[in-house]
């Protein structure tokens, strides 16, 4: 276990099939080029959305667990700059870090929003970079169906929100009701405020952060934004992945004709974005 006695989050495994997607406000604030200035072999980097993307990118518990096994019983540093994403995956990563047998230091380089803020709470020490933010809110998911389906989705999310409120409250030393109120308000917490409120333990020196000038950083942000827009328009995760794969393979999607918007209009949007990034 980590040095602190942090609560475990037990989520309904049926939520693993839900579409937990990126919030647009988190994407707008995310600056993916912000990274740690230096890393070593006892460092884990979380510089992408949480959960597996259509192309295999993204941060998953499988990847984090493999890194923790390689690090062994040594202290670990977790550098975070993520807009969040799949809450279920974020919970699994939080639990994996919570169970690490040595000290866990989380460094928020830029943004730890949504599911990434849950991951950050697993640190025995949580350090915030200059201009960095935590963002906490209730579970954000895409649900489609009739009123009974939507009521069922809400019922499944309620205990998940309760578990997260317990974690935030334990970390900050506040009542769970206060944490729940912050989640209801979808609260953005700057570095100094996070320290004052107990969500973080200290500030990072500016020399510990750097700017990655590679175009791939902005490319990931743009692709994440497009996928989030498709999710809000009602496209399932499978139809979104089919649309992306069809575009990059140059072949028609097997489900494109069955899913409105997963054909020519989506492909055109993606091509325009890619051409802008490449130009």
- Asked if residue 105 and residue 142 are part of one domain, the reply reads yes
Residue 248's domain spans which residues? 215-278
Q: Which are the contacts of 245, defined by CB distance < 8 A and separation ≥ 6?
A: 54, 253
In the predicted structure, residue 232 carries a pLDDT above the cut 90: no
pTM: 0.77
- Asked if residue 108 and residue 19 are part of one domain, the reply reads yes
The model's confidence at residue 155, banded by pLDDT at 50, 70 and 90, is: confident
In a domain, 138, yes or no: yes
- Asked if residue 237 and residue 197 are part of one domain, the reply reads no
In a domain, 32, yes or no: yes
Give the pair of three-digit tokens for residue 175. 């009542």
- Asked if residue 262 and residue 145 are part of one domain, the reply reads no
The count of structural domains within the chain is 2
The pLDDT, as a whole number, for residue 154 is: 78
- Asked if residue 232 and residue 187 are part of one domain, the reply reads no
**Residue 145 CB-density burial (10 A; 0-12 exposed, 13-18 middle, 19+ buried):** exposed
- Asked if residue 54 and residue 17 are part of one domain, the reply reads yes
Looking up tokens 């009542």 gives 175
In a domain, 4, yes or no: no
Render pLDDT for 217-230 as a digit per residue (tens, 0 to 9): 666 767 776 766 66
Q: What is the mean pLDDT of residues 64-91?
A: 94
DSSP element (H, E) containing 188: strand 187-190
The pLDDT, as a whole number, for residue 257 is: 37
Render pLDDT for 100-140 as a digit per residue (tens, 0 to 9): 999 999 999 999 998 999 999 999 999 999 999 999 988 77
More confident residue, 24 or 60: 60
Q: How many helices (H) and strands (E) does the chain have?
A: 10, 11
The pLDDT, as a whole number, for residue 108 is: 98
Least confident residue range of 22-26, 110-114, 170-174: 22-26
């Amino acid at each position: 276990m980590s040095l602190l006695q942090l609560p475990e989050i037990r989520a309904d495994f049926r939520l693993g099939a839900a579409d937990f997607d990126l919030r647009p406000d988190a994407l707008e604030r995310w600056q993916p080029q912000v990274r740690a200035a230096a890393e070593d072999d006892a460092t884990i980097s979380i510089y992408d959305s949480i959960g597996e993307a259509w192309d295999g990118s993204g941060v998953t518990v499988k990847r984090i667990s493999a890194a923790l096994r390689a690090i062994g019983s040594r202290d670990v540093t977790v550098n975070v700059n993520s807009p969040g994403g799949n809450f279920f995956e974020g919970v699994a990563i939080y639990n994996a870090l919570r169970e690490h047998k040595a000290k866990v230091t989380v460094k928020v380089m830029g943004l730890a929003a949504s599911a990434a803020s849950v991951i950050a709470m697993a640190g025995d020490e949580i350090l915030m970079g200059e201009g960095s933010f935590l963002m906490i809110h209730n579970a954000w998911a895409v649900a489609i169906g009739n009123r009974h389906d939507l009521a069922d989705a809400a019922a499944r999310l309620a205990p998940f929100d309760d578990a997260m409120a317990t974690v935030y409250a334990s970390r900050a030393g506040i009542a769970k009701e206060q944490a729940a109120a912050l989640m209801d308000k979808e609260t953005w917490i700057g570095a100094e405020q996070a320290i004052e409120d107990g969500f973080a333990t200290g500030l990072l020196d500016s020399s510990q952060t750097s700017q990655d000038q590679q175009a791939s950083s902005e490319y990931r942000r743009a692709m994440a934004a497009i996928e989030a827009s498709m999710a809000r328009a009602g496209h399932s995760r499978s139809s979104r992945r089919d649309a992306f794969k069809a575009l990059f393979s140059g072949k028609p999607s097997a489900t494109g004709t069955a899913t409105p918007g997963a054909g020519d209009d989506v492909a055109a949007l993606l091509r325009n974005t890619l051409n802008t990034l490449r130009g």
